[in-house]
A and B are shown apart, each in its own frame.
Chain A
Amino acid sequence: MVKVSIVVTKRSRKSIATSTPVILLLSLLLGLVASYTLIWTFSKLDPISFFSTFYQTLISYTGLLEPLLFLTILGTAISIAFYGSFWNVGAEGQYVFGMLGAIYLVMFSPVSEVFLNGDSAANGVAKLLAVISGGLLGLLWSLIPGALKAYTRVSEVPVMLLMNYIAYSISDYLTAGPWKGRYTYGYIRTDMIPESSRLTVISGLEVLRYEVVIATIAVFAIAYLLIEYTRLGLEIKVLGSNPVALKSSGRNEKKTIILVSAISGFIAGLAGALRLLGYDYRLLYNIGDGKTGFYGYTAILVAWLSFKDLRFVIPSAIIVSALSSFGYRMQMFLKELLPPGVSAFAFSQIFIGTTLVVYSLARITKEYSVKLVVRE
């Protein structure tokens, strides 16, 4: 009888074939093939339309720039958490809380008066405060699962996924209640934030905002320095790889968990604040119905693809931006070939899921070699 078995052994040498860039590209390709097969099962979609539309998505770079910036910030936030084995799947909620923090400062706090006076220097400072207040609310929201993990050992993953729904509800409550706008033509939403509080559009590249570009670069650079060159960064890495060592070296494990959750939540909150001040200008009702673009969820994929190596956050963010825009582009141009009625985000979810599963499989080849052995 022929016996087929899968043999997995530890790899002793590294090779180019299993380096991160190769694995990333391979996962993207195989992930696309797998997604295509899944969708093809339920439709008449031909491979040429599918792959040429993906190519179109890639070269229409202006459409990718906006998601790329937000996914880079959020991906950085989640990656830092992953270094410390804090599985931040709650960036979506922290992002919403960032929006709340920003709109509160701009419209409902004493600072709001600054924007009516028109002094541009004061405006600039107030905008900065609004972004920071968004970061702080994100931080507070992330601190809850962080503290729960540190002190009660409850797993942060289900807690944060449930907390994302609570964040949506709180935002909806504020939008329909205390913060409900007066000039909304009967819609449930807040008023627009004053013009003077909005971020600056880059002329010639209308999808971009100066402040968002600067913030993305700053966040990424600071995060990189923090992880690679500071003692806290080292502690976070040790927390992720060997928490026992952290404890026995006299460091406070709980404090590190809480710090990593705070930093991660702060950055995710910044992203929400930038989104509100630069693009949305107001809160909409039923925010959980896709009005966040689900960036907080898609950024989880960015963090996985660049697993514990911040240098790969940006290439991963490019891949994920392309995958998430791809769903919308397919919906726009290939509608009659697709299974009917399915939302663009559902396609994006399929791309994200298959790419992630292929990547998780491909990544094991970095450390292990997998062989099929046939024995008589």
Chain B
Amino acid sequence: MIELLDWLIPTLASAYVVYTLTAIGSTVIERSGILNLAIDGLFVLSSSLAYAYAIYLSILLQPGVLATALSLLLTAVTTALLYSIYTALNTVLPVSQGAVGLSFMFIGYGLGAVVGNLGRVLFSLFRVRIEYISVTQNSVVFTYLLMVLAAVLVYLVLYKLKLGVLIRAVGEDPRLVSQIGINVAYVRFLSGLLGGVLIGIGGALFTLWRVGGWSQGQGLSHGWLAYAVSIAGWRYPPVIALVSVFFSLAYVLLPYLQSVGLPIEISIATPYVVSIVAMVFVSITHRRSVALLDPKSLGKTFFREEQA
């Protein structure tokens, strides 16, 4: 039992941090009215970027905490830039958000393979060892506290700051916001930056902490799992931080159901089943508060006729 807990607590912490940050990031983007179908591709891309950056920086500086921390930062910045392009593009031009989202997903998968393999080539040339993140039993509590802090911070940004109010306003009625003279594309650009930073960190930690390595195709489908967490948490950071505990527990434990006799292939599928059931459950529950409802303009093409 003690052995199980020794394994479970740090593993759960890494899963929890990855899915919570990614889900909250996706929330920021979708609250601004942009459908985040790019998530799985950009999650894969950021987890590959983190590996490539970490190898490169470990060669350049030397393997250690600094190289790992910098690669985390660079991944966050790169993902934020990509997401801000994504959200701005979807606003400036009257494109189909669904099609652009899926395009970014495919490009993310493909570029992720390219970037990660570049890291692998560097590795085979220089044979550096990345200092992966590991958390001891004693400090694991801090990671949970840190997540609560992150959720609270994003909550404050979205619900107490003017920027957050604007982000939610363009998610509800971009036309109205535009009419009072505020640049909708700029607000969404900022929401892409903020959400992208969080998703970038989530993807980077997936490689640098949760897995501790990289292989082609790594991270596939985990973006969607995080997306399900975001929806099941009503796209509301405090609730996400809460439900994410159960999701992470399910994602970490369910694949081990084989030890109690479930075939391995079926136990692998259980996290996906849990995600679908949770999304369905959430969509049939009655939500009284507007803050918990889906953004009204989510996924809708924004078109503002220029006044002559």
Q: Which residues of A contact B (CB under 8 A)?
A: 6-10, 38-39, 42, 87, 89, 148, 152-155, 157-159, 161-163, 165-166, 169-170, 172-173, 176-177, 300, 304, 339-343, 346-350, 352-354, 356-357, 359-361, 363-364, 367-368, 370
Q: Say whether, besides A173-B266, A360-B100, A346 and B110 are in contact (CB < 8 Å).
A: yes
Report yes or no: B216 in contact with A361, Cβ–Cβ below 8 A: no
B77 at the interface (CB under 8 A from A): no
Min Cβ gap B249→A in Å is 18
Q: Output the residue of B99, B111, B225, B275 with the most chain A CB within 10 A.
A: B99
**Chain A positions within 8 Å of B228 at CB level:** 158, 162
Report yes or no: A154 in contact with B283, Cβ–Cβ below 8 A: yes
A325–B273 Cα distance when bound, in Å, is 33
Q: Say whether, besides A166-B273, A169-B265, A42 and B114 are in contact (CB < 8 Å).
A: yes
Residue of B nearest to A367 (CB): B94
Residue of A nearest to B99 (CB): A360
B30-50, CB < 8 A from A:
37, 40-41
B92-123, CB < 8 A from A:
92-96, 98-100, 102-115, 117-118, 120-121
Min Cβ gap A167→B in Å is 9
Interface pairs (21), CB distance under 8 Å: A38-B111, A158-B275, A159-B279, A161-B40, A161-B224, A162-B276, A166-B272, A173-B263, A339-B118, A340-B117, A343-B113, A343-B216, A346-B110, A349-B109, A349-B110, A350-B107, A352-B106, A360-B103, A361-B95, A364-B94, A370-B93
A336–B104 Cα distance when bound, in Å, is 27
Report yes or no: B276 in contact with A341, Cβ–Cβ below 8 A: no
B7 at the interface (CB under 8 A from A): no
A97–B111 Cα distance when bound, in Å, is 30
Task: Out of A158, A165, A177, A348, name the residue touching B231 (CB < 8 Å).
Answer: A158
A340–B216 Cα distance when bound, in Å, is 12
Report yes or no: B283 in contact with A153, Cβ–Cβ below 8 A: yes
B3 at the interface (CB under 8 A from A): no
**Chain B positions within 8 Å of A360 at CB level:** 95-96, 99-100, 103
Report yes or no: B265 in contact with A165, Cβ–Cβ below 8 A: no
By Cβ-Cβ distance, the 7 closest A-B pairs, closest first, are A353-B106, A353-B107, A346-B113, A350-B110, A349-B110, A169-B269, A341-B117
Report yes or no: B99 in contact with A162, Cβ–Cβ below 8 A: no
Contacts A89-B102, A159-B280 aside, 19 further interface pairs with beta carbons under 8 A come to A153-B283, A158-B224, A162-B221, A162-B272, A170-B265, A170-B266, A173-B266, A300-B102, A304-B99, A346-B113, A350-B111, A350-B114, A353-B41, A353-B104, A354-B103, A357-B103, A360-B96, A360-B99, A361-B93
Report yes or no: A356 in contact with B106, Cβ–Cβ below 8 A: yes
**Chain B positions within 8 Å of A6 at CB level:** 92-93
Give the bracket for the number of chain B residues in contact with chain A: 35 or more
**Chain A positions within 8 Å of B73 at CB level:** none
A-B contact count (CB 8 A): 148
B126 at the interface (CB under 8 A from A): no
Report yes or no: A177 in contact with B117, Cβ–Cβ below 8 A: no
Residue of B nearest to A171 (CB): B265
A363–B306 Cα distance when bound, in Å, is 20
Min Cβ gap B91→A in Å is 11
Task: Out of A159, A340, A346, A350, name the residue touching B276 (CB < 8 Å).
Answer: A159
Q: Say whether, besides A38-B111, A364-B94, A353 and B303 are in contact (CB < 8 Å).
A: no
**Chain B positions within 8 Å of A359 at CB level:** 99
A370–B89 Cα distance when bound, in Å, is 13
B227 at the interface (CB under 8 A from A): yes
Residue of A nearest to B272 (CB): A162
Residue of B nearest to A82 (CB): B98
A163–B277 Cα distance when bound, in Å, is 11
Q: Which residues of B contact A (CB under 8 A)?
A: 37, 40-41, 92-96, 98-100, 102-115, 117-118, 120-121, 216, 221, 224-225, 227-228, 231, 263, 265-266, 268-269, 272-273, 275-276, 279-280, 283-284, 303-306
Q: Output the residue of A161, A163, A170, A359 with the most chain B CB within 10 A.
A: A161
Report yes or no: B98 in contact with A87, Cβ–Cβ below 8 A: yes
**Chain A positions within 8 Å of B113 at CB level:** 342-343, 346, 349
**Chain B positions within 8 Å of A161 at CB level:** 40, 221, 224
Q: Output the residue of B106, B265, B268, B279 with the most chain A CB within 10 A.
A: B106
Report yes or no: B266 in contact with A353, Cβ–Cβ below 8 A: no
Report yes or no: A368 in contact with B94, Cβ–Cβ below 8 A: yes
A359–B102 Cα distance when bound, in Å, is 12
Report yes or no: A341 in contact with B107, Cβ–Cβ below 8 A: no
Report yes or no: A357 in contact with B100, Cβ–Cβ below 8 A: yes
Report yes or no: A356 in contact with B40, Cβ–Cβ below 8 A: no
Report yes or no: A8 in contact with B280, Cβ–Cβ below 8 A: no
Min Cβ gap A349→B in Å is 4
Min Cβ gap B135→A in Å is 28
Report yes or no: B284 in contact with A42, Cβ–Cβ below 8 A: no
Task: Out of A158, A346, A356, name the residue touching B216 (CB < 8 Å).
Answer: A346
**Chain B positions within 8 Å of A148 at CB level:** 280
Residue of B nearest to A38 (CB): B111
Min Cβ gap B54→A in Å is 17
Task: Out of B104, B112, B120, name the residue touching A341 (CB < 8 Å).
Answer: B120
Residue of A nearest to B115 (CB): A42
**Chain A positions within 8 Å of B112 at CB level:** 346
Min Cβ gap B242→A in Å is 20
A169–B117 Cα distance when bound, in Å, is 27
